[in-house]
Amino acid sequence: MILVITNDQTDFSVQKLWQSMKNMGFKVSESERARYLIAGMRECDESYSTFNVVQGAVIDTADGREKNELELTKLVSRKKQAEPRIKAVLMESTIVCEYSDALRYRTQLPVFDVLTMVDFLHQSTSPNPRFGSTDSRFSWVDQGGEPDMDLLAARWRYLDPTKLPVVGILRIDYSYPPAPGDVDHPNSYFYKTVKETAKGLTFKAVQAAQPLTKEQREGMERAIKNLEAIGVSGITGDCGFLMNYQAEARTIAKVPCFVSSMLQCPLLSAFYSNSEQFLVLTANGESLRPALSSMLSLCCVDESVHSRFHVVGCENVPGFDAVAKGEAVDVERVKPGVVDLVLNEIDQRPQVRAIMLECTELPPYADALRCATNMPVLDAITLVDFFHSAISDNPFVGMNFQSSTRVSSPQLSSPDQLPDTVQYL
Cα 348–chain centre separation: 29
Whether the CB-CB separation of 376 and 121 falls below 8 Å is answered with: yes
CA dist 90 and 38 (Å) reads 10
Phi, psi of 354 (to 5 degrees): -155, 165
Q: Quick one: which H or E segment has residue 44?
A: none
**Catalytic residue positions?**
239, 359
Whether the CB-CB separation of 82 and 89 falls below 8 Å is answered with: no
CA dist 319 and 330 (Å) reads 7
- Of 158, 162, 132, nearest in space to 147 by CA: 132
Cα 286–chain centre separation: 26
Whether the CB-CB separation of 232 and 167 falls below 8 Å is answered with: yes
- Of 108, 112, 99, nearest in space to 72 by CA: 99
CA dist 258 and 246 (Å) reads 7
Phi, psi of 237 (to 5 degrees): -130, 165
